[in-house]
Each structure stands twice: as structure tokens, then as C-alpha cells.
Structure 1
Amino acid sequence: MDYIFPKLCSLVPLCLKLFIMTKSIFFSFLFSVLFFNIYAQQSELSVEKIMQDPKWMGTYPSNIKWDQQSSAIYFNYNKDADPADSLYRIQLKNTKNIEKVSWTEEKNTNFVRGTYNNSRTKKIVSKENTLIVFDLKSGKETMLLQLPENIRNPHFLANEDWIAFEVDNNAYIYSQKTGVLKKLTQIESGNKPKVREQKSSDKATFLKEENLKLLSVVKEREDHKEISKKIREARQDKKAYTFYAEDRQIFNIQVSPDAKFVTFTLYDRGKSDNTIVPNYIDASSYTKDLNTRSKVGDDETKVDLAIYNIEKDTVYTIMTNALPGIKDLPDYVKDYPDKEWEEKEREVVSSQTYFSDNGQHAIVNIRSKDNKDRWIAKLDLNTGALTTLDRQRDEAWIAGPGIGWSMSGGTMGWLPDNKHIYFQSEATGYSHLYLLDVTNGQKKALTSGNYEVFDPFLSNDKKYWYLTTSQVGPGERHFYKMPLMGGKMEQLTAMTGNNEVTLSPDEKHMAIRHSYSNKPWELYYKKTSSKATAIPLTSGQSEAFKAYKWRDPQLVTFKAEDGANVPARLYLPEASVKNNAAVIFVHGAGYLQNVHKWWSSYFREYMFHNLLADLGYTVIDIDYRGSAGYGRDWRTGIYRHMGGKDLSDQVDGAKYLIENHGIDKNNIGIYGGSYGGFITLMALFTEAETFKSGAALRSVTDWAHYNHGYTSNILNEPFQDPIAYERSSPIYFAEGLEGHLLIAHGMVDVNVHFQDVVRLSQRLIELGKDNWEMAIYPAEDHGFVEPSSWTDEYKRILKLFNATLLNK
């Protein structure tokens, strides 16, 4: 006993150790289980599922149109699981039946394309080389004319017997009564042929003169030949004038309603240097070079609006030198006090000509090539002189819904009184519809408020407007009817979300393509009345897609550092699985809105955010400064500093999540494509204390290497405003990388070239950075196509966030 007791006593520490070890193992196991449950949550979704061919989601209508009789709606659809969408039809007499249209019937079906006469009793259309007129009352179709070449842009003149159209860059008119066809213009491509002058040598001239002196008969015959030549020339009609376009292209041929003038745009592409994108997996097995765009600042295009005076048989261009402010310098020149700035006439680009119905007036929309001015001017067709009716100046850049771009006039035209023009302007900070009396210059706003107007058009009887607006809120779109001279708008749609309305030709019915945040596009039918109820016509979601309960993301706002209210979409996980990590998604740009109540064009990313939320992540998607839908000040908030307020909005979004949703400040990631990839790079390079990791997809790394049309608006030109480019380009800030970076890019990207990330990777190598990796996709352009590429890319993104944000 005495022996046993000490032995037992000696075993106590060991037993205790074993007990403690067992307990430790148990709790370690328990912790592991809990950790797995919290940080490795499961989801019905997977990257492979959501990134497969979108056909798995179902079929959704697009390209909506009506037949001429307003009796049937046609649309692209894929009810029968064909390799591609086909044309389908729903007739109003039986809205429950969706019919597939045969190829033969589709070819012979006439939709609502073409141009109407003033009373809308006839419509003129062209089908390739055939000119056809429809009598809308009788439904009769009459073939008027067939030509060897394609007929384009037919329209009725003031005398509606005559129809004007374009063939092979020349204007023609045709009489329905007499069948007379007249060619109004003689425009030829290339240069005017040079007349060869026959020069005789000194020896030949000497011999001829000697012969004429010696032989009188020969002299008499030679004199008679010269006299006969002059008589023939006197009897001949004057040779028709020919205008040679040289190396310029012809666009926007417009015949005046009285057929006395033809206006057209001369476009000279210039000799800008295009860049090369190599295709390493061409079918030939050889590397093939793709010729793509030039870089910003390398724009040598020149655009002129020409007038072909039929009576005078000559061509002249419009005169823009008297436009008010044509020599104005931009405000940013003050940042370069040591540089001499020359005040000179700026280059401009003109839209097509807009003629009043009676042909007495003409207007044009003119933009400066630096895009800081838009003039609407009255055009004197006899001289080419301009009288300015409205000038919109923006020290950032002119844009917004209905404002137009380059050679496009945007929303513009004439009222039936032949004295009022209509157009859209951001004069109040939001794009609204205006009227202007060209006889006295008085301007009137038809709409007003902190919302935007989209696609207004006149009713058949010219007594009303139909228009879409965001008046209910920036996250919704509705269709309205409004009196011609302004007044109360009648809201014709009621479904929450986006309502894309295609009005029937008789204006009695609306085909509505509608979607909501978590419900893709479907087709509805409704009578054109605010009191009518919308009837669903399609239900295209697949059973597999409907099986998952897709989140309706919360629309929230948070305060930015400058006091602005920033809109965002918020995806919250269930409290039981929340892991206190967050992912910020940055949408692309151009001019885009993603915080709204309709089905997003970023549908793959939307599904990925549902997956992330299932796994415990909190996800926020921000309409940062520069996004569409919020007016001029929001749109131009990135002027001369991309990576400024657009990035600080992401940082403030992170702070909002930390303060309001319990997010760990050390576990926030960010990702996005294109502009979103650019912001991701700027975030990791300049806001390392906020973002632990990020995935930059198809990202711009140096704005001096992007295209001219987009970049020069926001940052001006690199050789004129280098300050803007240097503070906006991630490659200048790469030394700031501290977190974990994934770069993903398509090698045949002709938008943001693969060269962008090649240059950045070399910079990161030289800086000795080792916490980054790159995934390259040899078969992909800017927008990925192959499901395998989407899947690989997003598996890498998920792996990045799981590895860096969950403290594993």
C-alpha cells in the first residue's frame, strides 16, 4: 500500500496531463468544427454553376417590336432550347400562345421600321435594293422601285408625292405619281482626275509650224478643225458638277424638304497610329496581329458638314468660326502657369442637319472636339453661316442622357409648328427636355427636378410626348405621357423596377420588358392607360434557376467624406453564418449605373454575390462618383482625377460596413472589372490600410494608354494635362502594394490591351513585390465569352478572399 500509493501519486501528474491534453484535443476539435461552420459555410450555389452558359438560367425576351397592324408583338426568345435565340410572336387575340416564327415568314414580316408621312397614313421603307410604301389604313404594300444597289434612309419630302433616299453616297428623289427618278448629287470618292496636258517637244513644235507655213491646204484644214471644236463645245450642255470626297467618308446624307439642298458629313479618319494586339492562339497556329485603336491624344480625325446647293450646283462647308466661345481655353490651363497657351479656333464636330417640315429652317448640333462645348445653331443653307440658339458649356465634359455624342445630335427635332425645336440639356444639372423658339430665341423647360429624362418622342398626332424618366427614384424607370407644350405627366407603368416600353404603331398598346432586382427580364402587355393592368406574357426562368432563393439586395446610402450621399446595393449574410469579412464590388464604367431595382447587366456578379453572402461575407456594390443616373455633378465627379472621389467612395463604403454591420476592419476585400479593375489597383496601391486583398480584372493601369474618345473627356490629353494622368494611373503608385493582389486579363483584349498588365507586372517585379499573381486568358477579349474562363477567373477570386479575409 505504501508502495502503491506513491506510484499512484506519481501517476497523478500524468493523468492530469492526459486529461488536459484530451480536453485540449476535444476543444480543438470543437473549435475546428465551429470554425468550419462559421468560415466554411456551404451554399446551394457554386462558381461552376453560376458561371456556366447563361442558358441554364432560362430564356428572356429581347429586341421587342410590333407588326404594322398593332396586332402582334415580336421578340427574340429561345423557348425551344435552340443553339441561339429565334424570332417569336404573341398575337393580342391570344396572348397565352407564344409562336415561333419561321425563317420564311420572318423574312417577309414588316415591322415598325421606316418613315411616316405627316398624317401617318403611309410609311416608306427600304428592303435592301427595293423601295416600298405601305398604306396603313388598307394594309396594302406597293413596291415602288428596285435598283442595283441598296437603298438607304428613305423619307417623304414636303410634297409627299416625292420620296428622298440615298444610294451609294448620293441623294435621289422619286415621284410616286409619275415614276420619275432624279439624282440630286454627283458625289464621287477619291480625288478629281487630273487632266493630262499634251506637250510637244521643241523639235515636234518646230516641224509642225514649218509644215503649216509651207503647205496652205494643211493650214486650212487645221484651222477648220479648231473652229469645229469650239462650235461643238458651245452647243454642249454645261457639264454636271462633281464633288470629290478625296480620302473622306460620307455620312448623314439629308435632303431638304423642298429638295433644294442636300447636306452631308465629311469624315476624315486621319493617320493616327493604331496599336497591335497579338493573338497567340490563332487557328493557323501562327501568331496573328490584331490592328486595334490608337491611344489617347492620337486623334487626327476631322469632321465637316457640307451643303450641296442643287440650284447653284456647288458644295460648301458650314462656317463655325463665329460660334461664341470658339476660342475659349479650358480652366485647367491655370495649373500650368509656365506654359504658353494659344487662343485659337477649336476643332468641332457637327451632327446631321435637322430640317423643319416646311423646309424653311435648319438646325445642327455642334460639339467642340475637346467636348467642353455644345452649340445648337440655326443654319443658313445658302451661305453655310450659323446663328447660335443655345450654348451648353461644361468645364469637365458635355454628356448625359439624350445629349448626344460626336456626330450624333441626341434628342433633337422640330415641333409641327415649324418654329419650335426640342432637345435635351443638363443646364440644371440633370438632363431634361427643352423647347426653343427659333424666331425669338425663347427657351422653355418641359421637365424639371432631380431626375433624368430618357428617349422622349412625339405621339402620332403630335399633341403629346412619350418619355421615360427616373422621377420615382434613381433606381426605377417608368414610362409617361405629357402634353406637347409641357404640363402634368401621366405615369403609364406601375411595376417596380425597370419598364422598357415599346409602343404599338396605333399607340393603343404597350409591350413592356420589365425586370426587378432578383427577377430577370420578362415581357408584359398593357393598354396605354395608367388605369390598365399589365398582363405577363412570358415566364422564362428555368426550374434550376427558380430553385434558389435569390436575394433582393437592400438599396442603402452612406455619407462620403465630402458629405455626399452615396448609393449602394447591400448583400447581407444570415446572422448564423456571418464571418465579419466584407467584399466590395466595383462596377465598370463608360457611363453605367448598377444600384437600381432591375435585373443587372452584371448578372454573373450578382449571382457570385449571393454565393459570397451564403458563405458568410457581407457584400456591397457602390454607385461611386462617375456613375450614371444621378445628374451632372455625380457624372463629372472624377474629372481630372480618376482614383479620387470614385476611390474614396469605396473607402467610405468600407467605413460604413465597419460602423454599421460589424465588419472587421482588417478583413475587407475589393474586386471589379475594367474600370472596377482600375479602382481595385488604386485601392491596393494607395489605400492599403483599408483593403487587405483585391482582384483586378481587365484593368486599365495607365490611362495614357487607353482610347481617346473616353479618356480625353475625363483627363483631357496627356501632353496637355500630364498632372491629371499621373495622379490617375495605378502604375505610378505600385510601390504602395501591401495586400494580396490577383490580376486577371484576356490576352486578345482590344479594349484594355494586355500590354497594360504586362507593363504593370514588370513594374511590380522591379519593385520586388511578391504578394501578387496574374491569371491570363489567351482566348478572351475584354468581355469574357467562354464559361471555362469565367469559372477559372471566379474560382481564383473566391480562393483569394477565402485565403486572405478569413484568417485561415
Structure 2
Amino acid sequence: MKKIAIAVLLFLSTGLYAQNQPGKLTIDKIMADPKWIGSSPSNLQWSADGSILYFDWNPENAAADSTYFITKENRTPQKLASSRKNEILYHRNLVFNLSRSQALYQKDGDIFLMDTKTGKTRQITQTVASEMNPVFSFNEKRIVFQQQQDLYAWDPETGQLQQLISVQKTAPAESKQRSGSQEEWLKKDQLEWMEVIRERKEKKEATEAFTKSLPKPKQVRQLFTGDKMMRNLQISSDGRYISYTLFKPDQNGKRTIVPNYVTETGFTEDIPARTKVGSPSGTSELFVYDREKDSLHAVSLDSIPGIEDLPDYLKDYPTRLSAAKKTKRLLSVGRLSWSPSGSNAMVEIYSLDNKDRWIMQLIPSEGKLKLADRQRDEAWIGGPGIGSFSASAGWLNEHEYWFQSEVTGYSHLYKYTIQTGNKTALTQGSYEVQSVQVSKDGKYFFITTNEVHPGEKHFYRLSVTGRKPERITQLTGANQVVLSPDEKHLAILYSYSNKPWELYLQDNNPKAKAQQITNKAQSELFSSYTWRDPELVQVPAADGAMVPARFYRPANPDPSKPAVIFVHGAGYLQNAHKWWSSYFREYMFHNMLADQGYYVLDMDYRGSAGYGRDWRTAIYRHMGGKDLTDHIDGAKWLAKEHGVDAKRIGIYGGSYGGFITLMGLFTSPGTFAAGAALRPVTDWAHYNHGYTSNILNTPAEDSIAYRRSSPIYFAAGLQDHLLICHGMVDVNVHFQDVVRLNQRLIELGKENWQVAMYPMEDHGFVEPSSWTDEYKRIFNLFETVLKRRSN
């Protein structure tokens, strides 16, 4: 271990001299504050009337972005005075009535009503309390909003305000006496022997009886939550029904802490952090209150089709399978949507084991559910527009509901008809529908897909009847579109592999040409280097799959023929594409490596986004399986097809990429001569629940999956050179992961490994000094190990 450390330190001094030569990429330059690259616009938003497009931008290289704007007539960006920012009303914050003649919005905790034709605005509330979530209801005759958890209805004609419900934690407690108790005996004895007390009691009871016989004053219906939290409070469009869920979090999950050592106070401080995978989940219930009948329905989930279907992985645990057959699976109530007139509602329900999603029609008058669609996946439910946190769905009209499903293996668009129960596929093919918006008139969908190429994003118009989509954008790369309110113009954030994001404007017409609006994404310094357009290649895997990858080919390969494989993080993410990468630092680093004679391969391994369900779920129950063998096959491809020395291949990556780096060095020694694992997961049982339980289930329920997927169990296999870098205040992948692995490697007596700690960095580094230090260590590891000459 001492020899490699000394060699790295010796090379550090000579390497710094080479990096600072004029006209060359250096790590200091690449990892500096990203403002040196240029300024890309972001956060595109149209004004309420669609006459102005606002965006964040920083062409002046100031300390932070400012708000800029253009108009359809004047397309030269202008800076908005900071004093005017609070005046902006964004179109995306408006809630329209059916005819779109009126709109509601919330501002500074109050509710406003706007006439969309004249722009005249009327303030509805002006209170210290905060009002939110305004909607048109009671057949658009009243406006309903939420104050705290209570619902109110306001009549625009009379100005009358009515409270619809009052949400309380518990009902008032009633005084009860135990039968046969001492209190009961004393009360009876008093009434028997004390005449005045008996007379007063009789008068009181007579008064109460008379009061009860009088017409009751109007009261607000109270809804009680108990020890649960109310969520998703909604009213139907006709004002008759109020729906909500009650969520009960499990209080038994132990939360972790992250020690913060470098603080202003000089004392170590604890950062409260997440629970770990397998921590008990909360439960949710669905309720519908019928205002007309003053009745409350607790919607039963017990009869949902397939609720008792157990996941296949339990077959590996016969004892547990037998016990599981006697219980129903736990469910979570997701998104609920009322139809335009309020006569129908659709609700999404998910199994907590992540295997099922049901779209159910809610029959509100009965508080019952009817199946519209069930999607089951023995791995886990996911994909674009699918999932409890990213559901994409809504109503076309009173009787047609649209949603996305991966039932064919790719996320596509479907329509469900209430009267017939028919489901119609509106898109199909080996590509993904990645975003959906319905036109104002309800006749079209505006969708973004990767139909042209998995590495491109284009905007289309599609009839609700499901004919062939009409492609609107033409620029090769990624087109992130924000449609104008009148649907006549596209505001586009566009980028290509070696060109950062710029703003374009285009008419909503397939024959129209996009006009570039901004041109500051590349500074003069950034443009002085000829950035590579990485080759998009297909790497054959051992199982016959073709793995998409970016390939950086050196113009002058080093005589030792070294190569580096980069592993992107996030697991479910795409990086072998034709747009400016979120891994822009790594992209620049790969250009520098190619300049230094390295071949560089960046793979969209199994588990990556953009390629459909089978690619996404190929890592189910075995992370470090096909996702790792894809990289091993990548190493073989580099040697076979490009003459790379198989003994001079390095690997590196952060987060999930750090995990794969560890698995590669631990389970396939000799494949990668050196690896840099940045902020790596070392034991999946210590990661979060939302991500990990999808892929590996939970440690208590599927110990097999965790045992074969966690690097710490394979640390004995380390033979090659390993660098670990980790931020100490990482609240995502905790520094504890590295500490535990560190101890394991010590106990195993391993050599040729080292750990670099960053005391003030979270999961995503912030300080340029940290980025620079980290990547100098990575570069010098590769230079020392991969280029060293044989004796």
C-alpha cells in the first residue's frame, strides 16, 4: 500500500506541471466553478396570457441567475428588475374553468379570481391564514379552497362564504361511568335522598329535551383524523362529494444521523437523516363524504382483484410463503382525479411490495371501486409516467380517462372508456412516451418520446383517437418543450452531445424552423477547445444484448493502450445519448483522458433509463449482476475491437457507479487494474427504502437478494488498486458505508487501497476544490497504474 501511495504523490507534482501547460485541458480548469463554461437558460415559464416567456439565466456571470424574458414580438432577452419578480403571474399556476373564461390562482397565501379575456382580477381572500388549492366546483357556481385542512366555498355572485367541512383530530370525549362503580352508586344515592338535586336534574332534562325538539342550527360537518394525517383533500366538480385519504405513518422506523464535524460552532453536530430500507411503511385509507346525504364512506380495498397474489420471490422462502398466504398485501392509495362534471372519479392504488398498480373507478355514491386497469410486474412497477410519485394521467371528457402503462414492455399511452370498460392503446412500438399534455380543446395529446432514437427527445402532436403522432421538433438531440398557453408556440431548451443547453422558439408546426434565442451557453474559453462528439456504439453482451454506450476514441493512443470505463450513477438514468449530459464534468474529463491517450467507454448498462421495462428491471434481485457483466463485456470489447491492453483497463463512477466499481474489483479481480469508487453504496441494507425496496425487496424479506448484491460481502476478492472518495456529510449514501467497508478491508489485510474524505461535502459535491482534489486523485491513479511500464 505504501508503494502505490508514494507513486501517486510523486506523480501528483509532475502531473500538475503537465496539466497547467497553455492550450490543454486541465483538471483545475474542468472542475472550476461551472460558470466558466457559460450560461444556459433554465426554468422556462409562460406568463398567464402567454405574451411573455420568462426564464432564469446568467449571461453576466453574476453570483446567481436572474430572471430574463422575451416576448413574441421582441425576442431579444431582457433582464427583469428584481423588484418586479413578485408581479409575475405564471400560466402554470392557473386553474381554469371548463370554458377557460376564468382562472383561479394563489398568491402570497390568498386566492384570486381572474377574467382571462380582460385580465381583470378579483381578490377572494385576504387573511392572515394561508389559503390554497382553489378549484371551481358546484357546477362552476362557487369557488372552493382550502384553509389549513378545512374546505370553504365562496359564491362570486353573493360574496357568501360557507365552510364545508372542519377537520378535527379527535371527536369530543364523552363522560362515561363504569357500571357498578363507586361513582355510579354515589350518584344514585344522592338523587334518592336529596330532593333539591332531584328536582334540578328533572328541570335540566326537560330543558334539554325541549332544546332538542327545536330546529337544529346549521352545523359544519366534522371529519376526524385520529392519529392519522389527512392527504389529497378534494371536492368533486358538482360539489357533492369530498374525497381524502388518511395516512398513518409507522412510528417504529429508526432514523439515522449524519455527524457534521466541521461546523461554525466548533462542535460536532448531528444532521437528522433518513430511515434505512425495510423500515416499516405507513398505511393509507380512502374516504368519500357525500354532502347531499351527509354520509361518510370508508372505501374498502379488500376486494381489489389480485390483492392476495403474492410476489414470486417468496418461493425462495417456503416458510414465509406459507405464512404470507394467510394475509392480504398492504396497499397505498395514490392519485385520485374527479371527472369534469364530478360524476366519476379514478384512483390509483399500489401494493407496498411494488408489484401491482391498479387504476380503479370510484363509484362515489356507494363508496365502492371497480377495476379499470391492473398492471403487475414481478420486478417492480415503474417507467416514465408510472408510479406513485410520477403518475401521468387525467380525463379527456366525462367518460374517457387516459393513463400510461408499461404492459407492452415500454411506457405507452392508453385510453379507458367508462361506459364500455374498453382500453385503447394510443401509442405503440419499441420506444417510450416520456411526457404527456392534453390540448385545451381535448382533441390532442402533446407528447415527448424517444421514438426517433433512444438517445433523442422529440415533441409530437397526437390525436386522442390514437393515429400516428406528428413530429413537431426537428433538431437532433434533446428538445425539452414548454408549450405556450395558446398552444401556438414552443419554447424549447435544446442541447446536443457537445453543445450545452440553449433556448429556442418555434411555431407549433412540423414545417416551422426553430429560432435560437440565447447564445451564451459556451463561453469563449470553453469554445476554444474542440469538444468531442462521442460515438454512440453498441457493445455486445454475453447474453446477446447490445449495450448502448458513448465511446471516446483518442486521436493519438498512448503506446500502452490504456482504457477507462465510466459508470453513471443513479442506476435508473441515461447517459449514452445525444444531448448535453448532467455529467458534464465527467464529459470534459473524458475528453482530457482521450487527449492523454486513453480510450473511454461510458455505458448505459442494464438498469438504465430510456430502453423500456426489460432493460430497467434486468437488475431485479441482483444488483451487481447484469449491470456489472455489461461492463466486463465492455472491457472485453475494448480489447478485442480496439486493441486495448486488457491489463490496463480502469473503471470509475459515483454513487451507483461507485457501487459497480466496488463489485467489479471485488468479484472480477484482474478485469480492472484500477478503480475509483466515489460515494459508493457498500451495503444495500443501509440505503433508503423508496429506491432499494423496488429492486431488492427488503432485507428481512429477501436476504438472498441483499447478500448477492452488496459489495461488503465480497471485499475478500480485492486484488487490484482501489481509491474510495466520499463526502462525510452525505445524507444520501452515508459515510457510514465507507467506514464499515474500511474496517472490513483492514480486517482482511488488504493492500493497494486508500480512502479520501471530504469533511464538508454532501452526496453531490459543491466546492470546486473538492471536485478538483477528487479528480486529480482519480487521474493520478489511472496514470500510475494503467500507464506504468512493465519491468
Compute the TM-score of the two structures, normalised by the length of structure 2: 0.93
State the 1:318 CA deviation.
Answer: 1.8
* Structure 1 position 587 matched with structure 2 position 568: yes
Q: Name the structure 2 match of 1:320.
A: 301
Corresponding residue for residue 355 of structure 2: 372
In 1, distance between residues paired with 2:674 and 2:109?
58
Cα displacement (A) at 1:724: 0.7
User: Amino acid of the residue matched to residue 566 of structure 1?
Assistant: V
Structure 2 equivalent of residue 434 of structure 1: 414
In structure 2, the CA distance between the partners of 1:232 and 1:583, relative to structure 1 (3 Å rule), is same
Does residue 88 of structure 2 align to residue 109 of structure 1? yes
Question: Is structure 2 residue 210 aligned with structure 1 residue 231?
Answer: yes
**Alpha carbons of structure 1 residues 777 and 587: separation in structure 2 relative to 1, 3 Å:** same
Residue of structure 2 equivalent to 1:9: none
What is the CA–CA distance in structure 2 between the aligned matches of 1:752 and 1:145, rounded to whole Å?
45
Question: How much does 1:324 deviate?
Answer: 1.1
Correspondent of 1:383 among 366, 371, 382: 366
1:664 aligned partner, one-letter code: D
Q: 1:480 aligns with which of 437, 443, 460?
A: 460
Match of 1:573 in 2: 554
Cα distance per residue 1:370-420 (max 9 Å; x no partner) = 1101111111213322111111110000000011325x5x1111112x111
Matches within 5 A, 1:365-514: 365-405=348-388, 410-416=391-397, 418-514=398-494
Instruction: Give structure 2 stretches of 5+ with no counterpart.
Output: 1-13
> Which residue type is aligned with residue 700 of structure 2?
F
Among residues 548, 567, 573, which one is paired with 2:529 in the alignment?
Answer: 548
- Structure 1, unaligned runs of 5 or more: 1-34
Deviation at 1:760, TM superposition (A): 0.6
Provide the rounded CA distance (Å) in 2 between the counterparts of 1:107 and 1:377: 41
Counterpart residue number, 1:632: 613
Task: Note if contact 2:502-2:519 (Cα within 8 Å) is conserved in structure 1.
Answer: yes
Give the match for residue 22 of structure 1.
none
Question: 1:15 aligns to what?
Answer: none
Which stretch shows the higher mean deviation, 539-548 or 628-637? 539-548
Aligned residue in 2 for 1:772: 753
1:558 is matched with: 539
- The 1:222–1:78 alpha-carbon spacing in structure 2 relative to 1, beyond 3 Å, is same
Partner of 2:3: none
Once residues 758 and 279 of structure 1 are traced to their aligned partners in structure 2, the CA distance between those partners, rounded to angstroms, is 15
Tell me the distance in 2 between the aligned counterparts of 1:359 and 1:206.
55
Contact 2:138/2:240, CA 8 A, preserved across alignment: no
Q: Aligned partners of 1:403 and 1:655: how far apart in 2?
A: 36
Distance change (3 Å), C-alpha of 1:210 and 1:115: closer
Secondary structure at the aligned position of 1:184 is classed as strand
Per-residue displacement from partner, 1:732-758 (whole Å, max 9, x unpaired)?
Answer: 100000000001111111111111111
Aligned partner of 1:274 in structure 2 is 255
* Aligned match of 2:222: 242
Shift of 1:460: 1.2
CA drift at 1:510: 0.9
Q: How far apart are the structure 2 equivalents of 1:317 and 1:675?
A: 42
Cα distance change of structure 1 residues 135 and 221 upon mapping to structure 2, 3 Å threshold = closer
User: Is 2:655 aligned against 1:674?
Assistant: yes
Q: CA deviation at 1:726?
A: 0.4
Name the residue aligned to 1:131.
Answer: 111
Which of 317, 324, 328 is residue 342 of structure 1 equivalent to?
A: 324
- Give the whole-Å Cα distance in 2 for the aligned partners of 1:203 and 1:133: 63
Secondary structure, counterpart of 2:286 in structure 1: strand
Tell me whether 1:175 sits opposite 2:175 in the alignment.
no
Q: Which amino acid aligns with 1:292?
A: A
SS of the residue corresponding to residue 734 of structure 1 reads helix
Q: Which deviates the most, 105-114 or 300-309?
A: 300-309
Mapped partners of 2:184, 2:462: distance in 1: 82
Q: Is the 8 A contact 2:405 2:411 kept in 1?
A: yes
Maintained 8 Å contact 1:171/1:262? no
Tell me if the contact between 1:743 and 1:773 (Cα under 8 Å) persists in the aligned partners: yes
Superposed CA deviations along residues 307-360 of structure 1, whole A, max 9, x for unmatched, are: 222234343332111111101111112222354342221111112321111211
Aligned to 2:499: 519
Task: Tell whether the 8 Å contact from 2:163 to 2:220 is kept in structure 1 after alignment.
Answer: no
Aligned counterpart, 2:127:
147
More displaced stretch, 141-150 vs 379-388? 141-150
Secondary structure of 2:410's match? coil
Q: Between the two proteins, what is the percent identity of the paired residues?
A: 51
Give the drift of 1:201.
5.4
Q: Which residue of 2 aligns with 1:363?
A: 346
Contact kept? 1:241, 1:314, Cα under 8 Å: no
| Alpha-carbon offset, residue 679 of structure 1 | 0.2
Determine which of 759, 784, 791 is the counterpart of 2:772.
791
The answer on whether the counterparts of 2:682 and 2:711 sit within 8 Å (CA) in structure 1 is: yes
Superposition deviation, residue 241 in structure 1: 3.9
AA partner of residue 51 (structure 2): S
Matched, 1:728 2:709: yes
SS in 2 for 1:242: strand
> What amino acid does structure 1 have at the position aligned with 2:649?
I
Q: Retained in 2: the 8 A contact 1:127–1:151?
A: no
CA 1:211 to 1:710, structure 2 compared with 1: closer, same or farther past 3 Å?
A: same
Q: 1:617 aligns with which of 598, 603, 613?
A: 598
In 2, the alpha carbon distance for the partners of 1:778 and 1:670 equals 25
C-alpha displacement of 1:56:
1.1
CA-CA distance at 1:562 after TM superposition: 0.3
The question of whether the paired residues in 2 share the 8 Å contact of 1:126 and 1:132 is answered with yes
Question: Paired residue for 2:78, among 81, 96, 99?
Answer: 99
Report the Cα offset of residue 576 of structure 1: 5.8
Contact in 1 for aligned 2:308/2:328 (Cα 8 Å): yes
Return the alpha-carbon distance in structure 1 between the equivalents of residues 456 and 59 of structure 2: 28
Question: How much does 1:233 deviate?
Answer: 3.6
2:7 corresponding residue in structure 1: none
Task: Note the aligned Cα RMSD (angstroms).
Answer: 2.1
CA shift, 1:552, in A, is: 0.7
Q: Equivalent residue of 1:763, what SS?
A: helix
Q: Distance in 2 between matches of 1:401 and 1:776?
A: 36
CA distance in 2, matches of 1:58, 1:367: 44
Counterpart for residue 745 of structure 1: 726
- The alignment partner of 2:59 has SS state of coil
TM-score, with normalisation over the residues of structure 1?
0.91
**Aligned mates of 1:560, 1:719 — CA distance in 2:** 33
Q: Secondary structure at the match of 1:334?
A: helix
Q: 1:378 to 1:573 in 2, by over 3 A?
A: same
**Cα offset, 1:219, TM superposition:** 4.8
Counterpart CA distance in 1 for 2:617 and 2:393 is: 23
Gap change, CA 1:218 and 1:299, over 3 Å in 2: closer
Matches within 5 A, 1:656-671: 656-671=637-652
How many angstroms apart in 2 are the aligned matches of 1:206 and 1:384? 46
What amino acid sits opposite 2:78 in the alignment? Answer: E
Looking at CA atoms only, which structure, 1 or 2, has the larger radius of gyration? 1
Q: Which string of whole-angstrom CA distances, capped at 9 and with x for unpartnered residues, describes residues 61-98 of structure 1?
A: 110011123222100011233211111111221212x2
State the partner residue of 1:16: none
Aligned-partner residue type, residue 397 of structure 1: W
Is this contact kept in 2: 1:747–1:780, CA < 8 A? Answer: yes
Report the count of equivalent residues: 764
Inter-partner Cα distance in structure 2 for 1:786 and 1:254:
44
Partner of 1:70: 50
Tell me which amino acid in the other structure corresponds to 1:345.
K
The one of 212, 215, 219 aligned to 2:194: 212
Match of 2:235 in 1: 255
The residue identity in structure 2 corresponding to 1:584 is: I
